[in-house]
């Protein structure tokens, strides 16, 4: 397998309401991940997150404080990917866990999952399964960095 020497920079939003976390899922995939996406050249991470939310969900969002970062590597369709994910607490007033969250992009869907079952929903990168609940509880000793690299 050929390894490309690039690292993608992504910005991700942690939106929690009523004890549930908003996540994305690529259609046909078993894994879930946080909403957001790639940071463009000369774009602030916070602006990229707002842009991605508007593109994916068609609604406005408010980006709050920086929570931490996770470096992640995985293989998809025979190709190695390496990325740095910047995590921000995010508010999306127009969305509610009590209503269907409709995607503006046909290749992804959105759902709200309980904070207590992030592992059962295969949230990736996997360090987020423990980091997000601790960040939400505002535990001061919580690491601000996670990795899936060996």
Domain boundaries of the chain, sorted by first residue: 8-147
- What's the pLDDT band for 60 if we cut at 50, 70, 90? very high
pTM score of the predicted model? 0.91
How deeply is 126 buried, as exposed, middle or buried, from its count of CB atoms within 10 A (0-12, 13-18, 19+)? middle
Q: Nearest-CA neighbor of 135 among 149, 147, 146, 148?
A: 146
Q: Which long-range contacts (CB under 8 A, 24 or more apart) does 95-100 make?
A: 95/15, 95/17, 95/22, 95/57, 95/59, 96/17, 97/17, 97/18, 97/20, 97/22, 98/18
- Indicate if the pLDDT at residue 95 is higher than 80: yes
List, edge to edge, every strand of the sheet that includes 8-14.
Answer: 36-38, 8-14, 79-91, 62-76, 145-147
Percent of the chain scoring above 90 in pLDDT: 77
Assign 2 a pLDDT band (cuts: 50, 70, 90).
Answer: low
pLDDT at 81: 85
DSSP state of 132: H
Give the homologous superfamily in CATH for domain 8-147: Nucleoside Triphosphate Pyrophosphohydrolase (3.90.79.10)
Pairing of strands 108-114, 20-26: antiparallel
**Interatomic CA distance for residues 105 and 131, integer angstroms:** 28
Percent of the chain that is helix, strand, coil (3-state, to 5): 15, 40, 45
């Amino acid at each position: 397998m050929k390894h490309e020497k690039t690292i993608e920079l992504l910005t991700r939003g942690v939106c929690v309401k009523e004890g549930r976390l908003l996540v994305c899922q690529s259609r046909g995939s078993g894994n879930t991940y946080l909403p957001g996406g790639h940071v463009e050249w000369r774009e602030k991470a916070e602006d990229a997150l707002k842009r991605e939310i508007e593109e994916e969900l068609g609604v406005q969002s408010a980006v709050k404080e920086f929570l931490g970062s996770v470096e992640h590597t995985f293989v998809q369709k025979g190709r190695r990917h390496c990325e740095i994910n910047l995590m921000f607490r995010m508010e999306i007033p127009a969305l509610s866990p009590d209503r269907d969250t409709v995607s503006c992009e046909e290749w992804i869907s959105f759902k709200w999952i309980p904070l207590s079952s992030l592992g059962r929903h295969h949230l990736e990168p996997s360090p987020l399964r423990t980091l997000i609940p601790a960040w939400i509880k505002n535990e001061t000793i919580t690491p601000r960095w996670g990795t899936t690299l060996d």
